[in-house]
Amino acid sequence: MDKSPQRIRGMFDSIAPWYDFLNHFLSLGIDRRWRAFTARQLINADTIDGDVLDVCCGTGDLTLALQRRQPQRSYYGIDFSEAMIERAKRKTGTLIFSTGDALHLPFDDNRFAVIANAFGLRNVCDTQGGLAEMVRVCKADGTVAVLDFSMPVLPVLRQLYRFYFTSVLPRIGEWFAGNRNAAYRYLPQSVLAFDSPQQLAGRMEQLGLQNIRIQSLTFGIAALVWGRKIKH
């Protein structure tokens, strides 16, 4: 699968005008609940003090969901698609959105209390490198989290969902957004080829995260995988 930065950036630049609408339409609004759930898990009374970073923030919906939890923190969003970042900036002036590469985050080591990534790491051409960057910029006792699609395990549901995801969703996506870089065909292909939540948890462990949790959402259609960076 071609995950070259040029292809991925071009694809998200071209679907940016349709991105939010199609996210909510194709998921029947469930994506909002997944982001709100993620925000509740990551920002609460147990979260250490400090700034929050949303890597591959796209149009900023997760960044905003995180900010709603504790507006007094500083929230940063970074993404390499200018068109996506432009849309994020239009939603609010209170968050710090900028363009940048997830594989070379322009931040010092041990900088953030929480680093989150929603539906983004799967698109980064080097999964381990992207995750390692998130761990690098995380403070001791801070949290690194990845939210993404996964495949349901219940047999009938798995088949129904697979049919919707690989046959119906790409057609609807193309009706609206056009066949721009085949983005809505790439989506199911990339999910099917990507790590399972357990594999992602294994990568986190390799990178030294501890207390790793896998939280399955909506019968396993999505999963939140997250861990804590322990003091060295």
Nearer residue to ligand SAM within complex by CB, 8 or 137 = 8
Nearer residue to ligand SAM within complex by CB, 114 or 118 = 118
Q: Which candidate, 49, 20, 10, places its Cα nearest to that of 139?
A: 49
Q: Which two tokens stand for residue 145?
A: 């989290």
Residue 118 found at the interface with ligand SAM (CB under 6 A) = yes
Sheet holding 75-79, edge to edge: 96-99, 75-79, 52-55, 112-118, 138-149, 222-229, 209-217
Residue 170 found at the interface with ligand SAM (CB under 6 A) = no
Place of tokens 């699609």: 149
Residue 123 found at the interface with ligand SAM (CB under 6 A) = yes
Piece of 4-12, 106-114, 158-166, 204-212 that binds ligand SAM (CB under 6 A)? 4-12
d(CA 88, CA 81): 11
Residue 149 found at the interface with ligand SAM (CB under 6 A) = no
d(CA 152, CA 92): 35
d(CA 123, CA 25): 21
Residue type, 58: G
Nearer residue to ligand SAM within complex by CB, 157 or 185 = 185
Name the DSSP letter for residue 24.
H
Residue 81 found at the interface with ligand SAM (CB under 6 A) = yes
* Exposure of 121 in the CB half-sphere (CA atoms within 13 A): 28
Place of tokens 């997830």: 102
Nearer residue to ligand SAM within complex by CB, 5 or 141 = 5
Q: Quote the crossing angle between the two packed helices 5-26 and 169-177, to the nearest 10°.
A: 100
Tally Cβ neighbours within 10 Å of residue 202. 14
CB of 212 to ligand SAM, least distance (A): 21
Site string for ligand SAM, 21-60 (x = CB under 6 A): -----------------------------------xxx--
Residue 84 found at the interface with ligand SAM (CB under 6 A) = yes
Residue 103 found at the interface with ligand SAM (CB under 6 A) = yes
Residue nearest to ligand SAM (CB): 58
- Out of 43, 95, 102, 113, the residue judged to bind ligand SAM by CB under 6 A: 102
d(CA 25, CA 177): 13
Nearer residue to ligand SAM within complex by CB, 157 or 218 = 218
- Out of 15, 22, 47, 120, the residue judged to bind ligand SAM by CB under 6 A: 120
List interacting residues with ligand SAM (CB under 6 A): 5, 8-9, 12, 56-58, 61-62, 79-81, 84, 101-103, 118-120, 123-124
